[in-house]
Amino acid sequence: SQQGEEDPQALSIQEGENATMNCSYKTSINNLQWYRQNSGRGLVHLILIRSNEREKHSGRLRVTLDTSKKSSSLLITASRAADTASYFCATDGPLNNNAGNMLTFGGGTRLMVKP
């Protein structure tokens, strides 16, 4: 079973709008990461937030983490057509045994940004 579940599964917005994606997970974590996957390509790391952090920024990306609710959100501001991709959250539990930095991925949110 998957540790993380993204919501919504698909999102369509106009260029310039903000896009918000949510991720929920089931067990305790050390950190949570967000990755982007363009169609037919491998995943690319976007941002990592540790369990003792509540918010993190990177360019147009803003990630929040609420460990009490076991949830995270990824906000992309002022979206561009080039942001069209699938976005996945990944947690370092429950498979992680501190001997491999293993990640468990959610099912992803497919984002389409219309020009």
Binding site for another protein (CB under 8 A): 2, 4, 9, 31, 33, 40-45, 48, 88, 92, 95, 99-108
Q: Which is nearer to another protein, 42 or 59 (CB)?
A: 42
Least distance (Å) between residue 109 CB and another protein: 10
Least distance (Å) between residue 16 CB and another protein: 28
Q: Which is nearer to another protein, 56 or 105 (CB)?
A: 105
Q: Which is nearer to another protein, 44 or 81 (CB)?
A: 44
Helix (H, G, I), strand (E, B) or coil at 32: strand
Least distance (Å) between residue 108 CB and another protein: 6
Q: Which is nearer to another protein, 9 or 12 (CB)?
A: 9
Helix (H, G, I), strand (E, B) or coil at 45: strand
Helix (H, G, I), strand (E, B) or coil at 83: helix
Q: What is the DSSP string of 51-79?
A: TT-SEEEETTEEEEEETTTTEEEEEE-S-
Name which of 42, 43, 27, 34 is nearest 97 in CA terms: 27
